[in-house]
Chain A
Amino acid sequence: MKQVGLFLLCWSMLLACNNNNIQQRNQVLGLRQMSDLATAEYIITKIIRANDNKTWYKWGDRKILMSCRASVKAGIDLSQLKAEDFQITGKKITLLLPPAKLISLNIPPENINIEYEEVGLFRSTFKTGERDALAAQAEAQIRNSADSLGILTTAKENAELFIRSFLMRAGYKEVVFSSNSPTTPALN
């Protein structure tokens, strides 16, 4: 009886050691209600080039060349529209739109490809985490220079185009956009 108990204890401990099931939380991290009208999307490409030869005690170099294709979306936040931004005179409406902003940056995993990899005799290949860290640097570079691509100007123009057609369909004969403040490159 004692031996059976000991066996069961060992068996349950063995099972506990091999238990590598993943338990997901039921709740999501957060939910945010928004009012963003995305009006422009740019599909961009970038080459990720890195050379791992800075650490003096590691023999040999590692070089990697990756390419990535990302989507950047921009538009306006409709929640920023206030009553004073609208001036209505008969069938004419004048609007002051909020500045355009970046809404999202998306680099899908399938759009990141290794083009070339060169690994020295005494070095190991780039692991998943290392490749992700390099791609994350590219992501930061894209994020920082997204506004210089001119997407905010395009987003503003497209927003005006859409709102004009929407309001004209709703019965207005003339839709005028008054000059607004400069675009902001804020990304959620």
Chain B
Amino acid sequence: MKKTVNSLLLIVVLVMLYFILSHFGILPTFGNPFRTKPVTIDNTPILIEEMRELRNLVSVTIYDEVVIASEKDEKQYIGNPMSVLPLSYTSKARIVLVGRGTVMAGVNFFELKEADCFVKDDSVSLHLPPATILETSINPSGFETFTETGHWTEAEVTSTKQQAKQQMEQRALAQNILSKATLKSKQVVERFLRLAGFKKIVITP
């Protein structure tokens, strides 16, 4: 009897010891054997295709999230679709994506012309180009597939994602991103010119 109790106690102590050691990473854990292994991409090189010079003052960035859905009719076949009398029915295929990204707005100084800048002693007058949307981006990490039923081609999914980007840009415009970017750009340039030694600064957007 005593021997059995001792054996049981030893098993309990060993089990506890295993859990403690595995908790601190000293012993390996068995884990869930049916867990799907994540698919990882290979580390391939990055190739530079083109280098461009920019002169963009990014003065406002809007962070946003949009939901976009696409729906289409899809013909489903019962049995062989090549048969003489194929049985088919039409069902709705649907994809709903959530996209998170940014809209950047500001001024492109490449549009600044010689006549836009007038200087006399410590006074400067500058006519800033109008603020524009400089970049709208929803990167792959920003997309989440909420639902996907039926078959969607790569082109159809890309088109839906482009709609999400357009929608995000429209929403940014509705938030007056351009007027905010113009105002902020003016403040940034004015501060820069003041630091550069100008006393009287007139900036017209």
**Chain A interface (Cβ < 8 Å from any Cβ of B):** 20, 22, 24-25, 28-52, 54-58, 69, 71, 73, 75, 78-79, 81-83, 85-86, 88, 93, 103-110, 112-114, 127-130, 132-142, 145, 149, 154, 158, 161-162, 166-167, 169-172, 188
The interface residues of chain B lying within 8 Å CB-to-CB of A20 are: 69, 94
Does B171 have its Cβ within 8 Å of any Cβ on chain A?
Answer: yes
Q: Which of A30, A132, A154, A188 contacts B140 (CB 8 A)?
A: A132
- Asked whether A139 and B140 contact (CB < 8 A) given A73-B54, A128-B157, the answer is yes
Q: Once the chains are docked, how many angstroms separate the CA of A56 from the CA of B32? A: 12
Q: Within the assembled complex, what's the spacing in Å between the Cα atoms of A45 and B50?
A: 10
The answer on a CB contact under 8 Å between B67 and A34 is: no
Contact-residue size bin, chain B (C-beta under 8 Å from the other chain):
35 or more
Shortest C-beta distance, B171 to chain A (Å), equals 6
User: A residues within 8 A CB of B69?
Assistant: 20, 22
B contact set with A: CB distance below 8 Å: 33-34, 36-69, 94-97, 100, 102, 104, 106, 109, 114, 117, 119, 124, 134-135, 137-141, 143-145, 148, 152, 154, 157-158, 161-162, 165, 167, 171-172, 175, 177, 180, 184, 188, 191-193, 195-198
Q: Which of A104, A128, A161, A162 contacts B102 (CB 8 A)?
A: A104
State the CA gap A80–B102 with chains docked (Å): 23
Contact between A52 and B39, CB atoms less than 8 A apart: yes
- Decide: A34 and B61 in contact? CB cutoff 8 A: yes
Q: Which of B51, B139, B162, B165 has the most CB of A within 10 A?
A: B139
A107 CB to closest chain B CB, in angstroms? Answer: 5
Instruction: Please name 6 pairs of A and B residues whose Cβ atoms are closer than 8 Å in the assembled complex, sorted by A.
Output: A34-B106, A73-B56, A88-B197, A104-B135, A109-B162, A162-B55
* B58 pairs with A112, CB closer than 8 A: no
A129 touches B102 (CB 8 A): no
What residues of chain A lie closer than 8 Å to B109, measured between beta carbons?
Answer: 162, 166
A55 to B35, CA, bound (A): 8
Instruction: Specify the chain A residue showing the minimal Cβ separation from B176.
Output: A31
**Nearest chain-B residue to A145 (Cβ)?**
B46
A160 to chain B, nearest CB (A): 12
Give 4 nearest A-B pairs by CB, closest first.
Answer: A135-B140, A54-B37, A109-B161, A129-B145
With a cutoff of 8 Å between Cβ atoms, the chain A residues found around residue B58 in the complex are 34, 36-38, 75, 103
Does A110 contact B54, Cβ atoms closer than 8 Å?
Answer: no
Contact residue among B55, B62, B165, B197 (Cβ-Cβ distance under 8 Å from A39):
B55
- In the complex, what's the smallest C-beta–C-beta distance from A5 to chain B, in angstroms? 31
Q: When A41-B51, A109-B162 are in contact, do A93 and B59 touch as well, CB less than 8 Å?
A: no
